[in-house]
Chain A
């Protein structure tokens, strides 16, 4: 039986592993190779000179990386605060309403991110839903709410809410009610229960939620373009520009490698500490 399990396991992993090797790992190697090439070449048949990394440091591209990481951190923290009460209620308080919420939130994921952000543009712009009705009802006008840094973070919070909400709810459902009850009986207040019982026991869900939110928001591009009107330039935007307007693949690759280096290290570190079997509900 054990032998059959070994063989069937490896055999059934084979198709998806081969596919990811060709479609995920190989492209990453190509990006890494391109990042070492001289400026503005389009083939790998050149001697590496690492000039892109020098340009990246000299011309201040690292500032965009810092901007992206700072906004990602802000969005992750805000999302944690917003989602915790709701995730708690979904895991412990709501009955059937949890299903309604889950379906309602998942449905938004199926609508292209573009369309939803475009909806916010129509809502927040001058002459948009909010300003337009405000002007009609009060007679006062104000400028649109778009094209600044807070609205980009708002967009990130909006788009990536499900990625924080569901892992948190899953994490909180792993906290036994008995543990909370016992802490309460021993005289802990709400804050102490949160800090001493819920936070550590729900840690796997919290980690997955924060990690995936941070990684995805750090690489996000549409929010800053559509809502922010390039109030700041994010790293993905720099990468895209190096590839399109700049026609400089090595520079774009070096920027991409740096971004991947930061978020990839975080992701690998986080993922290696998570027991997937426990989170996804193995029986026994």
Chain B
């Protein structure tokens, strides 16, 4: 077991390294640089700035110095937020995205599993159709349509909640963003849960239990729930990374200082070090959560060995 975890960590290093390399060169291929502005700068001035950040050196040398900086934990300065380093910005934005993302995650999983089970129990009745319609609606209606509607209704007309802002994540400030962000994710989980629950309910051991005359709710909770949760596990790892690394749409509309805005602003302004730093973070989180899911799977399913 320990050697399995150790090997996963060792395997992650080359994966990350390749990831960094691809990202490093890819963003350099994009036209523009962090220093292009509307006003054309005298070439001497531009040269000075480029020299300051080492952009005058050949690309492979810049790559090497970036990697060696990285090895010492230095993600470099931000070119867009010039008074901050990338590490500092990530350190302030990540907790915000983490808080909102984890809330979304918990809400979606609890609600999604609950609704999925309900739909499966009442398969092909109006309850099932209603739940599934809402789930699909949650998935297909873009959040940049839902979020402004929520703000109009709850903040402008009813005046129950603030129209945006963060304020250290007070619940009033979290409520609407969480709803707007969780709607799609809840829908997905409900759909997956419904599918796997129906499948489990049709299996022999459940039929046997039924034949024995056990009450439905006992069957559901004692026997069906756990196997039905299995397919969810593979989704949850990557999905977790998806929600905790921020959503630019939600952050933009609600004015939340999270990672999504850093990422998109970074990419649009060619803030090379910012984009690379965030790519590394997302990559590392993805690998980590995938590993956690694998380990969890190995616990759940005895057929899987650490081979």
A and B physically associate:
no
Q: Which chain A residues have a beta carbon within 8 Å of chain B's beta carbons?
A: none
